[in-house]
Amino acid sequence: GNSVTQMEGPVTLSEEAFLTINCTYTATGYPSLFWYVQYPGEGLQLLLKATKADDKGSNKGFEATYRKETTSFHLEKGSVQVSDSAVYFCALKTDSSASKIIFGSGTRLSIRP
């Protein structure tokens, strides 16, 4: 079946450090890939998405590239800020389940000043 695997957390970094959160997926067909972020006490916000192979999604300094050959969609940011502290979810949707999002387990990120 379709699934998403992302790196275990928590991840703790110092401010201005480089961030990578790994995400790999298993899916039939050609899924769309998403990164959502959840701040404490809030719902989910879309961070970025990519809908076909080699697409790069970007937003607020975060980037992720849809790599079909490695079935990956790793999240990166060059210089993190304290305000980036949150839980990050990698997710996918497929044609066969158009509105059903399959989420990874989430990675908690904490940034030290």
Nearest residue (CB) to other proteins, 36 versus 80: 36
Cβ 17 to other proteins, closest distance in Å? 26
Binding residues vs other proteins (CB under 8 A): 31-32, 34, 36, 42-46, 49, 51, 89, 93-95, 97-106
Encoded amino acid at 48, one letter: L
If you write DSSP's letter for every residue of 86-97 in order, what string do you get?
A: EEEEEEEE-GGG
What is the rounded CA–CA span in Å between residue 46 and residue 27? Answer: 21
Q: How far is the CB of 50 from other proteins (least distance, A)?
A: 9
Q: 113 pairs with which residues across the strands?
A: none
Q: Which is nearer to other proteins, 35 or 111 (CB)?
A: 35
CB nearer to other proteins: give 77 or 93.
Answer: 93
- Least Å from the CB of residue 15 to other proteins: 28
Of 18 and 39, the one with the shorter C-beta distance to other proteins is 39
**Spatial CB neighbours of 48, under 8 Å, sequence gap ≥ 6:** 34, 35, 57, 58, 59, 62, 63, 64
What is the nearest approach in angstroms of other proteins to the Cβ of residue 57? 11
Integer Cα distance of 7 and 4 in angstroms = 10
